[in-house]
Chains A and B, each alone.
Chain A
Amino acid sequence: MDFDQKTGCLKLGEKLDAAEVSKSWTLLADEKSVRQVDASALKTCDGAGLAFLWSLHKEKGAVIEGLNPGIEALLKPFDHLPDEAADAPERDDSLLVHIGRAASQIFGDIRAQVAFIGEFTVTALICLAKPRLVRWGDMWMTAQRAGVDALVVAGMVSFLTGMIMAFQSAVPLRQFGVDIFVVNLVALALLRELGPIMTAVVLAGRSGSAFAAEIGTMKVNEEIDALVTMGLDPMRFLVVPRVLAGLLVTPVLTIYANALGVAGGILVMMTQGFPFMALWNQLVGAVGVSDVMTGIIKSFVFGVLVAGVGCLRGLQTGTGASAVGVSTTRAVVSGIFLIVVVDAVFAAIFYVLKW
């Protein structure tokens, strides 16, 4: 390709393809002086070459001479291509619109959650009256995946937390000569707060996200629509078994995690030279039934929350591949947020009740 600045004539070679065009585009696209194109030698031309010729002719007003009839025929369909790209459909991205949209989304979300709770309660009551309506097979399968399969991770998290708390608190308490009270600290913190919360967070990350992804994929594949048109209530079919599974496994996992967490704390104290029986007696003296029950009562609520939010986010999935990812993220984030909110409410209630 040769360009004569004086005459404004661009002489093309035999081939005008993407490689050739990529070298010349920036050189000539802004060059207003190309008045004439000699294409007599041009034999082959790809899509990029056609775009280059079109741009020279239509946008720069250059005259193309000697163009092979075959290539001219390829250019013909673009005679009426508009000079400017079509405008994208109007999308108002102003700050006000963003704020309005966010507010509307929050209110819509609250409304959806209230409606979901209402729908779920009605369905759950119907299922309570007629237990055969519950898909028990699905429930047990989900309970196994959410519960048994989570034993290792929930146990490890709790055990290590118990050890860490013991290590961290042993040093300051030793300065006052009361390091035996590490057992009180670890046991009460785990049984009343950390055990249920950590178990629920593990469940939100493992099972809440899985519920959202499963149901979300079903939504994208129109399987939920198929259920509805077959007269099968997705709430009874999909949500009830999962929430029941959450209700069943969360307290069990919490008790298990609590036990392992306390064991972790005791193990650390034994390495500090305390005999096991001394630690055990301290533990039995420090922990009351109300402490154990506080955690277990919370865990029932956390289980329902995590499973319910996972299912709700799944049912709210939009269209497209990214929608499932968005639902999964929202399930985990909402789940953890609600766990903390509900725990705060529980803390206030237990304070008033002096538990």
Chain B
Amino acid sequence: MVKPIIKVRDLTAAYGDSVILENVSFDVRRGEVFVILGGSGCGKSTLMKGLIGLLPPTRGQILIDGGDLASASGAERAALLKKFGVMYQSGALFGSLTLEENVMLAMEEFTRLPFDARRLVARMKLSLVGLERFSGHFPSEVSGGMQKRAAIARAMALDPEILFLDEPSAGLDPVTSAGLDALILSLNKNLGVTFVIVSHELASIYAVADRVIMLDQTKKGILAEGAPADLRDRDANPFVHAFFHREAATA
């Protein structure tokens, strides 16, 4: 059994009085591609915010490689933050920096690498996502798909063990989306990066996911958990069935 790299225990997440998730527990194993899915408003983004430390849990605990972001401070928190990279849905690249400079930014802050070394590392990261020819371009000068790939390169700048991707396929054409799936698989296989992905795209989920959890708005928690093919073929829950068979939900 592979040791979990992320442990979520009895997590309750709320915005003020509005509880979004209640008593959610699950593990993400080291080296797997883990997908969080569910209908709109079920708490996917809330869970993602909790995992990356932007929303402290109301109750419960989130452990990243044994460390708790909510209670960590100073050097411990900085060390925990270096363990993961995040790709936001919009890419969130800094518009005033070139793609190369976007990737170099974190290295500038957290390492003592000289400029040439940072630049070469940035080029190598960009080449991993197929953007080595666009290193001098500004985000506004490349397509949306390229921006997302560059955002992955930026998230990988400090060689994190975990990459969180928020809707990586959203707004992309099927060909670019398939390219992104191939990239995720390649990084997972070659670099052993653990992926936690929020996604709706069934094709992508089947292509990359080792395991998925499906959140539910009514239950305020996990409705189903397992390999995507297993959920598609065996889960009896009407909403899970409808989701995986692309039917209008009746549940």
A residues lining the B interface (CB < 8 Å): 18-19, 21-22, 25-26, 29, 46-48, 50-52, 54-55, 73-74, 77-78, 81-82, 85-89, 319-322
Q: B159: which A residues are within 8 A, CB to CB?
A: 46-47
B133 in the interface (beta carbon within 8 A): yes
- A50→B124 contact, CB < 8 A: yes
Q: A46: which B residues are within 8 A, CB to CB?
A: 159
- B190→A73 contact, CB < 8 A: yes
Bound Cα distance A78, B124 (Å):
7
Q: A29: which B residues are within 8 A, CB to CB?
A: 114, 116-117
30 chain-A/chain-B pairs, Cβ below 8 angstroms: A18-B113, A18-B158, A19-B112, A22-B117, A25-B114, A25-B116, A25-B117, A26-B114, A29-B114, A29-B117, A46-B159, A47-B121, A47-B157, A48-B117, A50-B124, A52-B117, A54-B124, A73-B190, A77-B127, A81-B123, A81-B132, A85-B123, A86-B133, A86-B135, A86-B136, A87-B136, A319-B95, A319-B140, A322-B95, A322-B96
Shortest CB-to-CB span from B216 to chain A, Å, is 30
If the complex has contacts A25-B116, A74-B191, are A320 and B140 also in contact, measured as CB distance less than 8 A? yes
Bound Cα distance A29, B119 (Å):
13
- B140→A77 contact, CB < 8 A: no
Bound Cα distance A206, B39 (Å):
42
Closest-by-CB residue of A relative to B131 is A86
Among B111, B128, B141, contact of A18 (Cβ-Cβ < 8 Å): B111
- A18→B135 contact, CB < 8 A: no
- Extra inter-chain contacts (10) besides given A89-B141, A320-B140, CB under 8 Å: A18-B158, A22-B111, A47-B157, A48-B121, A51-B120, A55-B117, A81-B132, A86-B132, A87-B136, A320-B96
Among A48, A77, A88, contact of B113 (Cβ-Cβ < 8 Å): A48
Shortest CB-to-CB span from B80 to chain A, Å, is 17
- B125→A321 contact, CB < 8 A: no
Among B98, B111, B112, B117, contact of A88 (Cβ-Cβ < 8 Å): B98
- A47→B156 contact, CB < 8 A: yes
Among A19, A50, A77, A320, contact of B111 (Cβ-Cβ < 8 Å): A19
Mask: chain B, 168-195; 1 = CB below 8 Å from A; 0 = not? 0000000000000000000000110000
Among B112, B113, B132, max chain A CB count under 10 A is at B113
B100 in the interface (beta carbon within 8 A): yes
B: interface residue count bin: 20 to 34
Q: A77: which B residues are within 8 A, CB to CB?
A: 127-128, 190
Q: B119: which A residues are within 8 A, CB to CB?
A: 85
If the complex has contacts A51-B117, A52-B117, A320-B95, are A22 and B135 also in contact, measured as CB distance less than 8 A? no
Bound Cα distance A127, B107 (Å):
57
- A82→B112 contact, CB < 8 A: no
Among A73, A78, A85, contact of B100 (Cβ-Cβ < 8 Å): A85
Q: B141: which A residues are within 8 A, CB to CB?
A: 89
B206 in the interface (beta carbon within 8 A): no
Q: B135: which A residues are within 8 A, CB to CB?
A: 85-86
B88 in the interface (beta carbon within 8 A): no
- B137→A55 contact, CB < 8 A: no
Q: 4 closest pairs, A vs B, by CB?
A: A88-B136, A22-B112, A320-B95, A18-B111
Closest-by-CB residue of A relative to B116 is A29
Bound Cα distance A49, B190 (Å):
16
- A321→B117 contact, CB < 8 A: no
Bound Cα distance A236, B100 (Å):
43
Shortest CB-to-CB span from B222 to chain A, Å, is 33
B26 in the interface (beta carbon within 8 A): no
Shortest CB-to-CB span from B38 to chain A, Å, is 26
Bound Cα distance A180, B172 (Å):
76
Q: B125: which A residues are within 8 A, CB to CB?
A: 47
Q: B121: which A residues are within 8 A, CB to CB?
A: 47-48, 50-51
- Report B219-249 residues with CB < 8 Å from chain A CB: none
Bound Cα distance A278, B107 (Å):
74
Bound Cα distance A87, B136 (Å):
6
Q: B156: which A residues are within 8 A, CB to CB?
A: 47
- A81→B112 contact, CB < 8 A: no
Q: A55: which B residues are within 8 A, CB to CB?
A: 117, 120
Bound Cα distance A86, B112 (Å):
24
- Report B81-136 residues with CB < 8 Å from chain A CB: 95-96, 98, 100, 107, 111-114, 116-117, 119-121, 123-125, 127-128, 132-136
Shortest CB-to-CB span from A340 to chain B, Å, is 32
Q: A48: which B residues are within 8 A, CB to CB?
A: 107, 111, 113, 117, 121
Q: B127: which A residues are within 8 A, CB to CB?
A: 77-78, 81
Bound Cα distance A287, B141 (Å):
61
Q: B98: which A residues are within 8 A, CB to CB?
A: 88
Closest-by-CB residue of A relative to B115 is A25
Bound Cα distance A51, B123 (Å):
9
Bound Cα distance A335, B39 (Å):
48
Q: A47: which B residues are within 8 A, CB to CB?
A: 121, 124-125, 156-159
Shortest CB-to-CB span from B5 to chain A, Å, is 17
Bound Cα distance A51, B104 (Å):
13
Q: A86: which B residues are within 8 A, CB to CB?
A: 132-136
- B136→A85 contact, CB < 8 A: yes
Bound Cα distance A158, B136 (Å):
52
Bound Cα distance A321, B92 (Å):
10
Q: A81: which B residues are within 8 A, CB to CB?
A: 123-124, 127, 132
